[in-house]
Amino acid sequence: MLYKVNEIFETIQGEGSFTGVPAIFVRLQGCPVGCAWCDTKHTWLVNPELEVKLDKVMAKAADTEQWTSLSAEQMLTLFESEGYQARHVVITGGEPCMYDLKPLCNTLHNAGYQTQIETSGTFEILVPPESWVTVSPKVNMKGGYKVLQSALDRADEIKHPVAMDKHIEQLLQLLNDTDTGNKLIYLQPISQQAKATALAIAYCKKYNWRLSVQVHKYLGIE
């Protein structure tokens, strides 16, 4: 199976439960959800005319809509050729769950990697049981997609973007029918706004949730 890949790079995970963990990011192309504050809008569209060879994707100096097709085996070969040392692979996007991720994740697991999926929760999550699933639920976005209960049920952590009280209300509504006993709940301020951060801290204390502050943006790294 081939996956449409916008970029692959090694960095430090800056969000959620794995904050601070060295990680290889695999960013897939394509997302119809339409979040207004999205910082990867260059991954939204899959333009066949912008498919390029792997070397052009790896040589990117800025965000572009160019993408390449890779199999799981080709990704493993790339990890080795690039000398990546991280064993944690974050599969993100775009919206990665537009793809069947089982073949990719199983190949990575068999090679000794662990996998984490970052998804909006608006598509069925096709991953093996060993994968860590981060659902960042996107409610009432331009694309009109609804957050699936099956995605919330599968999530290991729910990381909700917040800027206003209504975002907390949306999260509480989503959690009404979700067993959160074994899940970690994070609030993540949108765009590092001071007001949003203060709001998130207040609600984390109120509900005993956790704060995710996008450490990589404060550090100025990918």
Q: Answer yes or no: is 201 within a domain.
A: no
Q: Answer yes or no: is 187 within a domain.
A: no
Does 92 show up as a binding residue in the annotation? yes
CB 217 within 8 A of CB 6: no
Mean pLDDT of 149-162: 97
CB 23 within 8 A of CB 89: yes
Using one digit for the tens of pLDDT, what is the confidence trace for 39-97? 899 999 999 999 999 999 999 999 999 999 999 999 999 999 999 999 999 999 999 99
pLDDT at 37: 81
pLDDT at 39: 86
SS3 23: strand
Share of the chain above pLDDT 70, in %: 97
CB 15 within 8 A of CB 187: no
pLDDT at 218: 61
69 bridge partner residues: 4
pLDDT at 11: 96
221 confidence band (pLDDT: 50, 70, 90): low
Does 100 show up as a binding residue in the annotation? no
Using one digit for the tens of pLDDT, what is the confidence trace for 2-20? 999 999 999 999 999 999 9
Q: Report which of residues 129 and 39 the model is more confident about.
A: 129
Q: Rounded to an integer, what distance in angstroms lies between the CA atom of residue 175 and that of residue 95? A: 22
User: E strand or H helix at 8, and its extent?
Assistant: strand 2-12
Q: Answer yes or no: is 135 within a domain.
A: yes
Q: Answer yes or no: is 188 within a domain.
A: no
The domain that contains 55 carries what CATH number?
Answer: 3.20.20.70
Does 138 show up as a binding residue in the annotation? yes
Does 137 show up as a binding residue in the annotation? yes
Residue 98 belongs to domain spanning? 2-157
Mean pLDDT score of the chain: 95
CB 10 within 8 A of CB 75: no
Does 204 show up as a binding residue in the annotation? no
Does 83 show up as a binding residue in the annotation? no
Q: What is the pTM of this model?
A: 0.94
Does 38 show up as a binding residue in the annotation? yes
Least confident residue range of 17-31, 109-123, 143-157, 204-218: 204-218
CA atoms within a 13 Å half-sphere pointing along the CA-CB vector of 121: 27
Domain count, the chain: 1
Give the number of other CB atoms < 10 A from CB of residue 195. Answer: 10
Does 12 show up as a binding residue in the annotation? yes
Strand ranges across the sheet with 88-92: 68-71, 2-12, 22-28, 88-92, 114-119, 132-135, 157-162, 184-189, 210-211
Q: Answer yes or no: is 91 within a domain.
A: yes
Q: Answer yes or no: is 172 within a domain.
A: no
Does 134 show up as a binding residue in the annotation? no
Q: Which amino acid is at 61?
A: A
Using one digit for the tens of pLDDT, what is the confidence trace for 178-204? 999 999 999 999 877 889 999 999 999
Q: Answer yes or no: is 26 within a domain.
A: yes
Does 31 show up as a binding residue in the annotation? yes
Does 27 show up as a binding residue in the annotation? yes
Q: Answer yes or no: is 148 within a domain.
A: yes
